[in-house]
Amino acid sequence: MLKKLTEEKLNEVLETGIREFAERGLQQTSMNAVATQAGISVGVLYKYYENKDTFFLACVRRCTEELEQFLHQLCAEEHKPLQYAEALIGAVQQFSRQHRDYIRLYHEVTHTGNPVHAAALAQQIEGVSSKLYTDIIQRAQQSGDVRSDLDPGLFAFFFDNLLMMMQFSYCCPYYQERFRLYAGGDILDNTDFVTAQLLKFMESAFTLEQADIPHRSPKGEIV
Protein backbone atom coordinates (compact mmCIF):
# COMPACT_ATOMS: atom_id res chain seq x y z
CA MET A 1 0.00 0.00 0.00
CA LEU A 2 1.35 3.42 -0.99
CA LYS A 3 2.04 5.81 1.85
CA LYS A 4 -0.18 8.90 1.99
CA LEU A 5 1.78 12.13 1.67
CA THR A 6 1.43 14.93 4.18
CA GLU A 7 0.27 18.37 3.03
CA GLU A 8 3.79 19.66 3.58
CA LYS A 9 5.23 16.91 1.37
CA LEU A 10 2.62 17.51 -1.33
CA ASN A 11 3.61 21.18 -1.37
CA GLU A 12 7.24 20.15 -1.71
CA VAL A 13 6.33 17.91 -4.66
CA LEU A 14 4.50 20.79 -6.36
CA GLU A 15 7.43 23.16 -5.79
CA THR A 16 9.75 20.55 -7.31
CA GLY A 17 7.43 20.28 -10.32
CA ILE A 18 7.29 24.05 -10.71
CA ARG A 19 11.08 24.21 -10.71
CA GLU A 20 11.41 21.40 -13.27
CA PHE A 21 8.72 22.74 -15.62
CA ALA A 22 10.20 26.25 -15.37
CA GLU A 23 13.68 24.94 -16.19
CA ARG A 24 12.91 22.29 -18.82
CA GLY A 25 9.45 23.04 -20.18
CA LEU A 26 6.42 20.78 -20.33
CA GLN A 27 7.67 18.38 -22.99
CA GLN A 28 11.17 17.81 -21.57
CA THR A 29 10.18 17.43 -17.92
CA SER A 30 10.25 13.84 -16.65
CA MET A 31 7.87 12.61 -13.96
CA ASN A 32 10.61 10.20 -12.87
CA ALA A 33 13.00 13.10 -12.36
CA VAL A 34 10.40 15.08 -10.40
CA ALA A 35 9.71 12.10 -8.13
CA THR A 36 13.42 11.49 -7.54
CA GLN A 37 14.13 15.12 -6.67
CA ALA A 38 11.09 15.26 -4.40
CA GLY A 39 12.25 12.10 -2.59
CA ILE A 40 9.26 9.92 -3.48
CA SER A 41 8.63 7.05 -5.88
CA VAL A 42 7.13 7.75 -9.28
CA GLY A 43 4.29 5.40 -8.31
CA VAL A 44 3.35 7.71 -5.44
CA LEU A 45 3.44 10.68 -7.79
CA TYR A 46 1.06 8.94 -10.19
CA LYS A 47 -1.21 8.07 -7.28
CA TYR A 48 -1.90 11.77 -6.82
CA TYR A 49 -1.66 12.92 -10.45
CA GLU A 50 -3.03 10.84 -13.33
CA ASN A 51 -0.44 11.99 -15.85
CA LYS A 52 2.09 14.73 -16.59
CA ASP A 53 -0.54 17.12 -17.94
CA THR A 54 -2.58 16.80 -14.75
CA PHE A 55 0.53 17.43 -12.65
CA PHE A 56 1.50 20.41 -14.82
CA LEU A 57 -1.94 21.99 -14.35
CA ALA A 58 -1.68 21.44 -10.58
CA CYS A 59 1.67 23.24 -10.55
CA VAL A 60 0.21 26.15 -12.51
CA ARG A 61 -2.74 26.27 -10.12
CA ARG A 62 -0.39 26.53 -7.14
CA CYS A 63 1.39 29.49 -8.75
CA THR A 64 -1.86 31.28 -9.59
CA GLU A 65 -3.26 30.81 -6.09
CA GLU A 66 -0.19 32.54 -4.66
CA LEU A 67 -0.53 35.36 -7.16
CA GLU A 68 -4.27 35.78 -6.56
CA GLN A 69 -3.74 36.12 -2.83
CA PHE A 70 -0.94 38.58 -3.46
CA LEU A 71 -3.08 40.76 -5.76
CA HIS A 72 -6.15 40.76 -3.53
CA GLN A 73 -4.11 41.87 -0.53
CA LEU A 74 -2.51 44.61 -2.59
CA CYS A 75 -5.78 45.97 -3.97
CA ALA A 76 -7.91 45.56 -0.84
CA GLU A 77 -7.85 49.29 -0.03
CA GLU A 78 -9.12 52.14 -2.20
CA HIS A 79 -6.37 54.21 -3.84
CA LYS A 80 -5.84 56.57 -6.74
CA PRO A 81 -4.88 54.85 -10.03
CA LEU A 82 -1.23 55.88 -9.91
CA GLN A 83 -0.98 54.63 -6.33
CA TYR A 84 -2.32 51.27 -7.48
CA ALA A 85 0.14 51.31 -10.37
CA GLU A 86 3.11 52.10 -8.13
CA ALA A 87 2.12 49.36 -5.67
CA LEU A 88 1.64 46.82 -8.47
CA ILE A 89 4.96 47.67 -10.12
CA GLY A 90 6.80 47.27 -6.83
CA ALA A 91 4.92 44.07 -6.06
CA VAL A 92 5.77 42.58 -9.45
CA GLN A 93 9.45 43.34 -8.90
CA GLN A 94 9.35 41.76 -5.43
CA PHE A 95 7.30 38.73 -6.49
CA SER A 96 9.58 38.10 -9.46
CA ARG A 97 12.64 38.03 -7.22
CA GLN A 98 11.05 35.86 -4.52
CA HIS A 99 9.26 33.43 -6.86
CA ARG A 100 11.51 33.27 -9.90
CA ASP A 101 10.40 29.77 -10.87
CA TYR A 102 6.73 30.79 -10.72
CA ILE A 103 7.34 33.51 -13.29
CA ARG A 104 9.44 31.24 -15.47
CA LEU A 105 6.62 28.67 -15.39
CA TYR A 106 4.20 31.46 -16.35
CA HIS A 107 6.48 32.20 -19.29
CA GLU A 108 6.45 28.53 -20.23
CA VAL A 109 2.64 28.57 -20.20
CA THR A 110 2.45 31.61 -22.50
CA HIS A 111 4.36 29.89 -25.28
CA THR A 112 3.61 26.22 -24.68
CA GLY A 113 1.47 26.13 -27.83
CA ASN A 114 -0.92 23.51 -26.44
CA PRO A 115 -4.40 24.43 -27.77
CA VAL A 116 -6.04 21.83 -25.52
CA HIS A 117 -5.11 23.78 -22.39
CA ALA A 118 -4.86 27.32 -23.79
CA ALA A 119 -8.37 28.53 -22.91
CA ALA A 120 -8.39 26.96 -19.45
CA LEU A 121 -4.93 28.25 -18.62
CA ALA A 122 -5.70 31.78 -19.82
CA GLN A 123 -8.85 31.86 -17.70
CA GLN A 124 -7.07 30.42 -14.69
CA ILE A 125 -4.04 32.71 -14.86
CA GLU A 126 -5.49 35.94 -16.25
CA GLY A 127 -9.07 35.77 -14.97
CA VAL A 128 -8.38 37.41 -11.62
CA SER A 129 -6.04 40.17 -12.78
CA SER A 130 -8.17 41.10 -15.81
CA LYS A 131 -11.28 41.66 -13.69
CA LEU A 132 -9.36 43.38 -10.90
CA TYR A 133 -7.59 45.86 -13.19
CA THR A 134 -10.72 46.56 -15.25
CA ASP A 135 -12.77 47.25 -12.11
CA ILE A 136 -10.09 49.63 -10.77
CA ILE A 137 -10.05 51.59 -14.04
CA GLN A 138 -13.84 51.75 -14.24
CA ARG A 139 -14.11 53.09 -10.68
CA ALA A 140 -11.40 55.65 -11.41
CA GLN A 141 -13.24 56.80 -14.52
CA GLN A 142 -16.44 57.25 -12.53
CA SER A 143 -14.61 59.36 -9.95
CA GLY A 144 -12.90 61.44 -12.64
CA ASP A 145 -9.37 60.23 -11.76
CA VAL A 146 -8.76 58.54 -15.12
CA ARG A 147 -9.38 59.83 -18.62
CA SER A 148 -12.82 58.97 -19.94
CA ASP A 149 -11.89 58.36 -23.60
CA LEU A 150 -10.53 54.84 -23.17
CA ASP A 151 -11.95 51.34 -22.99
CA PRO A 152 -11.39 49.92 -19.47
CA GLY A 153 -10.91 46.35 -20.64
CA LEU A 154 -8.34 47.20 -23.30
CA PHE A 155 -6.53 49.62 -21.01
CA ALA A 156 -6.33 46.89 -18.36
CA PHE A 157 -4.98 44.53 -21.05
CA PHE A 158 -2.26 47.00 -22.08
CA PHE A 159 -1.32 47.66 -18.46
CA ASP A 160 -1.11 43.96 -17.67
CA ASN A 161 1.08 43.43 -20.74
CA LEU A 162 3.55 45.94 -19.30
CA LEU A 163 3.59 44.11 -15.96
CA MET A 164 3.91 40.72 -17.67
CA MET A 165 6.91 41.81 -19.71
CA MET A 166 8.50 43.33 -16.61
CA GLN A 167 8.07 40.01 -14.77
CA PHE A 168 9.81 38.15 -17.59
CA SER A 169 12.54 40.81 -17.67
CA TYR A 170 13.51 40.02 -14.09
CA CYS A 171 13.45 36.21 -14.44
CA CYS A 172 13.96 34.87 -17.97
CA PRO A 173 17.49 34.98 -19.45
CA TYR A 174 16.48 36.29 -22.90
CA TYR A 175 14.29 39.03 -21.45
CA GLN A 176 16.96 39.95 -18.89
CA GLU A 177 19.44 40.54 -21.71
CA ARG A 178 16.82 42.48 -23.64
CA PHE A 179 16.19 44.63 -20.55
CA ARG A 180 19.92 45.37 -20.20
CA LEU A 181 20.22 46.17 -23.91
CA TYR A 182 17.56 48.87 -23.65
CA ALA A 183 18.29 50.22 -20.19
CA GLY A 184 21.90 49.44 -19.25
CA GLY A 185 23.79 46.63 -17.59
CA ASP A 186 22.81 47.44 -14.00
CA ILE A 187 19.09 47.91 -14.62
CA LEU A 188 18.06 44.69 -12.83
CA ASP A 189 19.41 46.11 -9.58
CA ASN A 190 17.89 49.56 -10.02
CA THR A 191 14.24 48.83 -9.19
CA ASP A 192 13.42 52.30 -7.82
CA PHE A 193 14.53 53.91 -11.08
CA VAL A 194 12.46 51.44 -13.12
CA THR A 195 9.39 52.16 -11.00
CA ALA A 196 9.80 55.94 -11.33
CA GLN A 197 10.24 55.79 -15.11
CA LEU A 198 7.30 53.45 -15.66
CA LEU A 199 5.08 55.67 -13.49
CA LYS A 200 5.96 58.66 -15.69
CA PHE A 201 4.87 56.63 -18.70
CA MET A 202 1.67 55.55 -16.97
CA GLU A 203 0.77 59.02 -15.69
CA SER A 204 0.30 60.47 -19.17
CA ALA A 205 -1.60 57.37 -20.25
CA PHE A 206 -3.97 57.66 -17.29
CA THR A 207 -4.63 61.38 -17.41
CA LEU A 208 -4.17 62.95 -20.86
CA GLU A 209 -7.23 62.71 -23.09
CA GLN A 210 -6.57 62.75 -26.81
CA ALA A 211 -8.25 66.13 -27.29
CA ASP A 212 -5.89 67.68 -24.73
CA ILE A 213 -2.69 66.57 -26.47
CA PRO A 214 -1.18 69.19 -28.79
CA HIS A 215 -0.21 67.95 -32.23
CA ARG A 216 2.00 69.67 -34.80
CA SER A 217 1.15 70.07 -38.46
CA PRO A 218 3.75 69.31 -41.15
CA LYS A 219 4.59 73.04 -41.07
CA GLY A 220 5.33 72.90 -37.36
CA GLU A 221 2.17 74.65 -36.26
CA ILE A 222 0.37 73.39 -33.16
CA VAL A 223 -3.13 72.15 -34.06
pTM of the complete model:
0.83
Confidence (pLDDT) at 118: 76
Q: Delineate the domains of the chain, giving CATH numbers in brackets.
A: 60-209 (1.10.357)
Sign (positive or negative) of CA dihedral 157, 161, 162, 167 = positive
The DSSP secondary-structure symbol of 222 reads: B
pLDDT at 126 over 70: yes
Q: How do residues 73-87 score in pLDDT, each as one tens digit?
A: 777 777 788 888 898
Radius of gyration of the chain (CA): 21
**What integer best gives the mean pLDDT of the chain?**
87
User: Which of 66-70, 86-90, 174-178, 205-209 has the lowest average pLDDT?
Assistant: 205-209
Q: How do residues 139-197 score in pLDDT, each as one tens digit?
A: 989 988 888 888 999 999 999 999 999 999 999 999 999 999 999 999 999 999 999 99
Query: Three-class SS of residue 216?
Result: strand
